[in-house]
Chain A
Amino acid sequence: MNITQLRDAIDTLLSSSPSLLGTYKLPNNTTTPAIYVVGRQSVPSAWKATGLEVTMREFPERLPTTMMGTVRVLQQWEVVMMQYTPSSATLSDAIDRMVRRFPDATVRYTPGDDVAYERCRFIIPDMVVRNLYPAA
């Protein structure tokens, strides 16, 4: 799995009817679904999020284990969902869809309070076996 595949999988999962994804309102007043890949830059502060926002890290954490002529790499993708509309129940539905799509994910849910928004973090394991480089 690469970041494009992960983003597409989550986008499809959450935007299929009824869509659970919130929206970003850009400075020029256009709106776009609130799904963002955090790389060198996090979500621009001028973008106003409403509803459910989904962010994911561009690069997974990689944990290698040596094998015979190959290396087994556990990649861990981090996905964070944040509910900016406190009255909405979409985060609960989104978690339900996510655990059914990624059953081996570690789920960390934090309820909202007067300081922080309701949010949930997923750590999705993704094992790959790679040949050694350069090839012998």
Chain B
Amino acid sequence: MAILLNAQAIEKSLVKAFSEWASIDVNQTHWREQFTDMSKWDYNGETKRKSGGPPVGSPRDIYDLGRLYESGVNSFSLNRNGGVLEASWHWDAKNANGIEYASYVHEGTGTNKTARAFTDDVAVASSFFLKTPGMALKLRVSQALAAL
């Protein structure tokens, strides 16, 4: 027996899978893990945290006061443009000089000596499906299609 599926139902289910992946697996789980996982980021030297406590060395997390983390998570948006559904983030936290500093942390420039590329697991295409976010997306899509 063959079952003919409505193309709109497939599309709707894929849109739902992607939206849930972006808002839950990435915006909630992945960014938190990237910002608070101590073992992930090497760093040269010690820094006194603005959040207080003893100076921290390496490895260490990049959460500190959480301003950069919050700026990204709060900027999350899902935009549908024709047949394209796009999730976007803008890490727009600013330093004392009013300059956005996300790229300094990400690429290891300015006062940051080591790159801590917290978006790479999502942004680097060659390894996307081998990292946690890619595996989560595959799972969401296969579950959505199986439920049709």
A residues sitting closer than 8 Å to B (CB atoms) are: 42, 61, 63, 65, 74, 76, 80, 104, 106, 108, 110, 113, 115-117, 119, 121, 123, 125
Q: Could you say which of B21-29, B86-94, B118-126 contacts chain A? A: B118-126
A121 lies within 8 A of B130 (CB): no
Q: If the complex has contacts A80-B115, A110-B103, are A119 and B109 also in contact, measured as CB distance less than 8 A? A: yes
- B90-124 CB mask vs A (1 if < 8 Å, else 0) is 00000000010001100101110001010010011
6 nearest CB pairs, A to B: A116-B109, A125-B126, A63-B130, A115-B110, A116-B110, A106-B124
Bound form: Cα–Cα A65–B127 in Å: 11
Interface residue tally for chain B (C-beta within 8 Å)? 18
Q: Tell me whether chain A's interface is mostly helix, strand or loop, or mixed.
A: strand
B residues sitting closer than 8 Å to A (CB atoms) are: 44, 99, 103-104, 107, 109-111, 115, 117, 120, 123-127, 130-131
> Which of B99, B125, B131 sits near A106, CB closer than 8 Å?
B125
Bound form: Cα–Cα A21–B107 in Å: 21
A108 lies within 8 A of B126 (CB): no
